[in-house]
Amino acid sequence: MACKRLVMPVSRLVAVGMMALLTSCSPTSVELGPEPTSTTTAPTSTTSTVLSTTTTSTTTTSSTTTIPAVLPELQFDEAGVPLNGQSNGVLVSDTGWVLPILSGLDGGRHRVWTPCGRQADIAGGEVIFDADFVLDPGHGGSEPGAVGRGGLAEKDLNLAVSEKIRDALVGAGYSVVMTRETDVRVPIVTRAEIAHALDPLAFLSVHFNAGTDARSATPGTEMYHQINRADSKRLAGLLYEETRAVLDQFDVPWVALSDAGTTFRPNRAGGDYYGVLRRPAPVLSVLLEFAYLSNPAEEELVSDPVVQDQLATAVVIAVERFLETDDPGSGFIDDPIFRGFGPSGAGRTDDCIDPVLE
Ligand SMILES: [Zn+2]
């Protein structure tokens, strides 16, 4: 594929965070029911989260967006969930939220997609039109995801590792926006819209797994790719290969599914079961399940910041190989065990309470 990075200003080195909500994706917990409703809690930080971490320059993106003659209204599906693909660019609000932009407004204001998936007209903030990568730390707020027996919550581990991945990617010259930077909940539909708004090279949803106690001689790493997407499959395969190269160093009593690897899971319609893969499309997306937080030995291993750094480095190496080589990756499971279709993941947002945006 064409390397988008080559046509983007390398000076645009921005790491932005956002707060977010979410849903999940460990196979045992993801979208097995209606997406959780979101009572969004206030960000733990109320300052702008536009960062220039480890970079020497910050974005100079214009703060103006086109103001159409007829202002767009947010469009919803029959279930009341906003349709993905309605925004262009994000506004990082003065209160630190990353808000997909529906339209510019007079006076420098913007009509935005709120964390709960509604529209709001707000002032202030900073506009960002694109990013090389959107990182999605899974779960958050009232949705802990998996919780290890030692007490480590997946939402916190996902965020910690995502921050390390962000810093490593920024250090390698890429711009990164995160769907959340604090312990807050953001519906999947909104996380996906941030990808639509920024059109990154890839959307990476970071998770740790739970659900099996089947012992394995090797790690149970799972990298889920979008169905029938060669680019998503190849990136997932490279992420799998590099992650295994890290984890295989450790002598740990691993657990794994018998068909763990670089894999996929269909829904009843033949599309992607997981919302973090289905909703960002056509943006390339991969769902990363590094290891099993539900296995105490693995919980202890991935709690180690040194190991977290190694996983972050593995992601950067995989990304660079994806962009600069034709390496195919590995671990491909072409006929995964059928585990049910489940519901389609409606992304319910109707009783979500939006945070203060301006
Ligand atoms: Zn998860």
83 inside domain: no
pLDDT of residue 345: 53
Q: What percent of the chain has pLDDT over 70?
A: 80
Question: Is 278 within 8 Å of 346 (Cβ atoms)?
Answer: no
**Residues 17-25, mean pLDDT to the nearest whole number:** 34
Structure tokens at 167: 């810093």
CA 37 to chain CA centroid, Å, is: 18
67 inside domain: no
* CA 312 to ligand 1 center in whole angstroms: 17
* CA 86 to ligand 1 center in whole angstroms: 26
The conformational region for residue 254 under phi > 0 = left, psi -120 to 50 = alpha, else beta, is beta
Q: What is the sign, positive or negative, of the torsion defined by CA atoms of 137, 139, 141, 145?
A: negative
pLDDT of residue 348: 58
Report the amino acid identity of residue 279.
R
Q: What is the pLDDT of residues 202-254, one digit of tens each?
A: 999 999 999 999 999 999 999 999 998 999 999 999 999 999 999 999 999 99
Enter the pTM of the model.
Answer: 0.84
Structure tokens at 114: 């709120």
Terminal CA-to-CA distance of the chain, rounded, Å? 40
Look at residue 311 and give its three-state secondary structure: helix
* CA 138 to ligand 1 center in whole angstroms: 6
Question: Is the per-residue pLDDT at 29 higher than 60?
Answer: no
* CA 209 to ligand 1 center in whole angstroms: 6
Residue 312 host element (H or E): helix 305-324
Q: Is 8 exposed, middle or buried (0-12, 13-18, 19+ CB in 10 A)?
A: middle
pLDDT of residue 352: 79
Domain with residue 216: its CATH number is: 3.40.630.40
pLDDT of residue 1: 38
* CA 76 to ligand 1 center in whole angstroms: 26
Question: Is 209 within 8 Å of 27 (Cβ atoms)?
Answer: yes
Question: Is the per-residue pLDDT at 201 higher than 70?
Answer: yes
Q: How many domains does the chain have?
A: 1
pLDDT of residue 340: 87
Question: Is the per-residue pLDDT at 192 higher than 70?
Answer: yes
Question: Is the per-residue pLDDT at 53 higher than 90?
Answer: no
* CA 125 to ligand 1 center in whole angstroms: 30
* CA 23 to ligand 1 center in whole angstroms: 8
**Residues 59-86, mean pLDDT to the nearest whole number:** 81
pLDDT of residue 351: 65
Weakest-pLDDT range from 15-19, 219-223, 277-281: 15-19
304 inside domain: yes
pLDDT of residue 343: 63
Question: Is 103 within 8 Å of 68 (Cβ atoms)?
Answer: yes
Average pLDDT, rounded, for the chain = 84
* CA 11 to ligand 1 center in whole angstroms: 33
d(CA 229, CA 237) in angstroms, rounded, equals 12
Report the amino acid identity of residue 49.
T
Question: Is 162 within 8 Å of 206 (Cβ atoms)?
Answer: yes
227 inside domain: yes
* CA 315 to ligand 1 center in whole angstroms: 17
Q: Which residue has the higher pLDDT, 274 or 38?
A: 274
Report the amino acid identity of residue 181.
E
**Residues 76-101, mean pLDDT to the nearest whole number:** 95
Q: Find the domain containing 187 and state its range.
A: 12-58+125-324
Q: What is the sign, positive or negative, of the torsion defined by CA atoms of 64, 70, 73, 76?
A: negative
Contacts of 334 by beta carbon, 8 Å cutoff, 6+ apart:
none
pLDDT of residue 16: 41
Q: What is the pLDDT of residues 311-353, one digit of tens each?
A: 999 999 999 999 999 999 999 999 999 988 876 454 557 667 8
* CA 288 to ligand 1 center in whole angstroms: 9
* CA 113 to ligand 1 center in whole angstroms: 24
Residue 305 host element (H or E): helix 305-324
338 inside domain: no
**Residues 133-157, mean pLDDT to the nearest whole number:** 95
Angle at 242 (CA atoms; ends 189, 301), nearest 5 degrees: 85
pLDDT of residue 79: 86
The conformational region for residue 11 under phi > 0 = left, psi -120 to 50 = alpha, else beta, is alpha
pLDDT of residue 49: 37
345 inside domain: no
170 inside domain: yes
pLDDT of residue 42: 39
d(CA 31, CA 54) in angstroms, rounded, equals 36
64: confidence class by pLDDT, cuts 50, 70, 90: low
19 inside domain: yes
Q: Is 109 exposed, middle or buried (0-12, 13-18, 19+ CB in 10 A)?
A: middle
B/e letters for 286-310, b = 16+ CB within 10 Å, e = fewer, are bbbbbbbbbbeebbebbbeeebbbb
Question: Is the per-residue pLDDT at 18 higher than 90?
Answer: no
Question: Is the per-residue pLDDT at 70 higher than 70?
Answer: yes
142: confidence class by pLDDT, cuts 50, 70, 90: confident
Taking the CA of residue 16 as centre, how many other CA atoms within 13 Å lie in the half-sphere pointing to its CB?
35
